[in-house]
Amino acid sequence: MKKTKTLSIALALVLILFLSTTTVAAIDAEITQHPAQAPVNQPFTIEFQITNEENQSKNITYQLNAPNFVEVIDGDLTKEIEIDSNDFITNEVELKYSPTDDADTSDFEDLVSYKFNLEVSEKNQTPIYISPVEVEPVYPIINFSAEVNKQSLVKGETAEVTLSFENTGRYKAQRIKLDINDHLSEREGIESINAPQIIKELAPGNISEEVYQIIAKKDGEYTSRVSIDYNNGIENISKITDFEIEVKTPEIDTEFQEEEVVIKKGEQGRINLTVTNSGNKSTNININIITPHGISVGTSELQSIELDPKTTESYGFIVNTEETGSYNITGLVEYKINNQEEQKQTNVLINVDEPSLDMELLEAPTTINASESKSGKIELKNTGNYSITTQLTALITDGSVQFYTSSSSTTEITLSPGETKTIKYLVTAASESTNTELEITASYNNKQIDKQQTIQIKENKGFLEDLSLGNINLNLNLNLDSILNSIIKPISKLGMVFYLPLIAIIALSGWILWRHKQYSYK
């Protein structure tokens, strides 16, 4: 019992000693009100309370430590004040984030801290630090884009432009000014209609869209620029975006691939019409092939063909020939641009012909001795555009005709277009006649060419004629009576022995002449 009482007394003494050496804090403080965010260049208030818990008044110094770019509008960041015993004061400081002239948004983005610290102290006493609070500086950030629903237009056509605005900042944007410039490339090419000029307000996180039209006025390639301008509280922000517009009125060109077509009469030919759409829009076209009398086209109309932009297509047509001659065929292409009818046309020359052959008699004999032969030549020329096979025939009143070449006899000749061939022939007279008619006929493709030659047949009075021995020409016209008189009379005078060699020489010369003439006809 005595021990318990002694322990209690000891504990009481220790407690008294502890209380006598420990100082109870007599000053308390706290930040009672502050915004979580503060728009740049917009005032905000921080409120704090300081309490004196002692029974005597106190002189207290407070200091509100603020981040960079903070400007005091009303109140003091640091001040010495007196607080009565067991009393408190409430103080307010009105502030704003106010960047310097050379500051920009990056300065705020790079701020390490948005904290405000309150420090309270008595003279010569250790300060009391109050837990800091954060006030984030906020400002609008506007992103925008432009989207056009058609970038390829024809003259008179309109496109719709949608402008999208998004505020990705933490504060509303006000009075966003818009400027639309259609004339970066060339004036009067395109023109905006009902374009917006200002967006009054855009809250943070919100998206807004503005729509206007562009009308195409002249062919060309144009750049349209949309720019915005707004103030985020720190600086004036300007942003731009461009988009391209091409104005290309559909232009249809057409031509035949062939300048001239040659077709054989009675046969078919082909023509090919090309059509080009050099514009940037699909276009419906109608094709008509116009033909004159004497020629026709199998399918002369093609309706409602859709021709894609920047495309060339070819269309073939079969041509039927009826009569020879030259004909102009017209290809007519019809289409519409902005509900206005347009057309283009082109022409092709069609020549319808048939095989053609010329024949000439060269070195044709005009005289011939009875029972003898002479040669001549026939020149055949294919003057047309097609191969020809011709049949040669001959008719002579008194005698015969034989055709031959250097290798063999022939009466059927084939010639390519433009080719010329020479055919030899041999005329043999059967008997004496005043005149005989030679007629040579070349037949081809149900047509024929006739050539006539009159030949005089002479009496065969001599057995030596036109004898050629080297450079010596002997032209003898001897009759039988003169030969006998020249031989018999000398024989009677001088005797047979002297003239027999002479008769042998004359006979041998006649045989040589006869053989010479035989070889000349081969």
Mean pLDDT across the stretch 70-90? 93
State the Cα torsion 335-337-342-348 to the nearest 10°.
-50
Enter the CATH code of domain 142-247.
2.60.40.10
Residues 229-250: tens digit of each pLDDT: 999 888 899 999 999 988 887 7
Enter the CATH code of domain 252-352.
2.60.40.10
Q: From CA 28, how far away is CA 17, in angstroms rounded?
A: 26
Query: 281-285: long-range contacts (C-beta < 8 A, 24 or more apart)?
Result: 281/152, 281/154, 281/248, 281/250, 281/309, 282/306, 282/307, 282/308, 282/309, 283/250, 283/252, 283/307, 283/309, 283/335, 283/336, 283/337, 284/335, 284/336, 285/252, 285/333, 285/334, 285/335
User: What's the confidence (pLDDT) of residue 460?
Assistant: 62
CATH class assigned to 357-458: mainly beta
pLDDT band at 18 (very low <50, low <70, confident <90, very high): very low
User: What's the confidence (pLDDT) of residue 235?
Assistant: 86
User: What's the confidence (pLDDT) of residue 187?
Assistant: 63
Enter the CATH code of domain 24-138.
2.60.40.10
Q: Where are the domains of the chain?
A: 24-138, 142-247, 252-352, 357-458, 467-520
Measured CA distances, 506 to 244, 313, 464, 481, 511 (Å): 113, 89, 10, 15, 9
Domains 24-138 and 357-458 share a fold: yes
Residues 311-330: tens digit of each pLDDT: 999 999 999 988 888 999 99
User: What's the confidence (pLDDT) of residue 521?
Assistant: 43
User: What's the confidence (pLDDT) of residue 64?
Assistant: 93
Question: N- to C-terminal Cα distance for the chain?
Answer: 179
pLDDT averaged over every residue in the chain: 81
Phi, psi of 90, deg, nearest 5: -115, 130
Q: Which of 483, 488, 380, 489 is nearest to 425 (CA)?
A: 380
Residues 196-223: tens digit of each pLDDT: 999 999 999 999 999 999 999 888 888 8
User: What's the confidence (pLDDT) of residue 476?
Assistant: 36
Q: From CA 347, how far away is CA 474, in angstroms rounded?
A: 71
